Amino acid sequence: MNQVEQLFGQRSRSQDHWLFILSLLILVLLTTFLLLSIVYQVKFQARETENSIKQAIIEKPLQDKPEPSPKLPAVQTTPESCLPPKPPQCRATEDSLRNTYQAIYQTLLDEFQNDLPRWSAEIDPQSLTISFRNPMIFFQTGSATLNPHYQQILAEFFPRYINMLQKFANFIEAISIQGHTSSEWTHSISIEEAYLNNMILSQERTRTVLEYCLQLPVVAQYKDWLRQIFTTSGLSSSRLILENDQENTQASRRVEFRIFLK
C-alpha cells in the first residue's frame, strides 16, 4: 500500500513540474507576442508620422505660393508722360517747349523761305532740320571737297542761321551737321563695304562743312558759342529716303543742320 501511494504521489509531483514549465513557456510566448505587437505598433506610428511630414513638406510650397499679382498698366513714355490731371508746372513746361519749337520754326521759315527753292533745301518743323537735298552741287561723287557753288550757299546761309539762333541760345542744347549718303558705292564688292565707305565719306563731308562755316569771318564773334554746341555726324546710308518702298538715291544724299533743344 505504501508503495502504491508512493508511486502515485511521485507521479503527481512530476505532473505539477511539467505544468509549471508549460505555463512558464506560455507566459514567455505571450510576453514576446505582446512586445512584438508593441514594437510593430511603434514602427507603424513612426512610419505614418514620417509620411505625414513628407506630405506636408510637399504640399506646403503649393499652399504658400502667392497668387500672381495683377499686371499693372504700362507707364506712358510718350512726350505726354505727365498723367492727368497734369500739375501746372508740367503743363507750363510742355507749353513752353511747344512754343519754343514753333517760334524757332517760324523764325527759320521767315528768314529762309525765299531762299529754300534756290538752295534745293527744305525745313522740317518736327525736328527743326534744314536739309540740303541736291548733293551734286555740294560735292563731287565720292569726294568730301566742297564745290564752289556750295561754298557760296554756305557763306550766304550760315551767318544768317547763327545770327537768328542767337535769340534762342538759352533753349538750344546742340546743333548737329549730319551727313547722309545713298547705299551705293562705285566698285564696292559687298553691301557692308559700301556702307563703311559711305560712313567714312559722310563723316568727312560733315567735318568739311563745319570747318568751312567756322572760318567765315562774319561768325568769328560767335566762335566760343559755336564750339560749345556744334557737332558733326556721318550717318552713311542708315537714313535712306524711300519712295514706294524703294530707295531714292538722289534724295538720300543730303547734308542737314538739325537743332536739339534742352
Tens-place pLDDT, residues 98-143: 899 999 999 999 999 999 999 999 999 999 999 998 766 788 878 8
Cα–Cα dist 178/231, whole Å: 9
Do the domain assignments include residue 132? yes
Burial class (CB in 10 A: 0-12, 13-18, 19+), 196: middle
Residue 8, pLDDT above cutoff 80: no
Cα–Cα dist 168/105, whole Å: 11
Cis upstream peptide for 85 (omega within 30°) = yes
Which pLDDT score is estimated for 4?
46
| pTM score, whole prediction | 0.63
Do the domain assignments include residue 82? no
- The parent domain of residue 55 ranges over 8-64
- CA dihedral over 142, 192, 243, 78, signed as positive or negative: negative
94 and 22 together in one domain: no
Q: What are phi and psi of 164, to 5 degrees?
A: -70, -40
116 and 232 together in one domain: yes
Between 80 and 262, name the one with better pLDDT. 262
125 and 40 together in one domain: no
Task: Check if the beta carbon of residue 56 is closer than 8 Å to that of residue 49.
Answer: no
Task: CATH number of the domain at 227, please.
Answer: 3.30.1330.60
179 and 238 together in one domain: yes
Do the domain assignments include residue 69? no
60 and 101 together in one domain: no
Tens-place pLDDT, residues 74-102: 444 445 444 455 555 555 577 888 899 99
Do the domain assignments include residue 2? no
Q: How many domains does the chain have?
A: 2
Identify the band that residue 25 occupies on the pLDDT scale cut at 50, 70 and 90. Answer: confident
Q: How many CB atoms lie within 10 A of CB 249?
A: 14
Residue 244, pLDDT above cutoff 80: yes
Do the domain assignments include residue 73? no
152 and 208 together in one domain: yes
- CA dihedral over 73, 75, 78, 82, signed as positive or negative: positive
Cα–Cα dist 33/22, whole Å: 16
110 and 151 together in one domain: yes
Do the domain assignments include residue 1? no
31 and 156 together in one domain: no
97 and 59 together in one domain: no
131 and 24 together in one domain: no
Residue 7, pLDDT above cutoff 50: no
Please, what is the average pLDDT of the chain? 81
Tens-place pLDDT, residues 154-207: 999 999 999 999 999 999 999 999 999 888 887 767 888 889 988 999 999 999
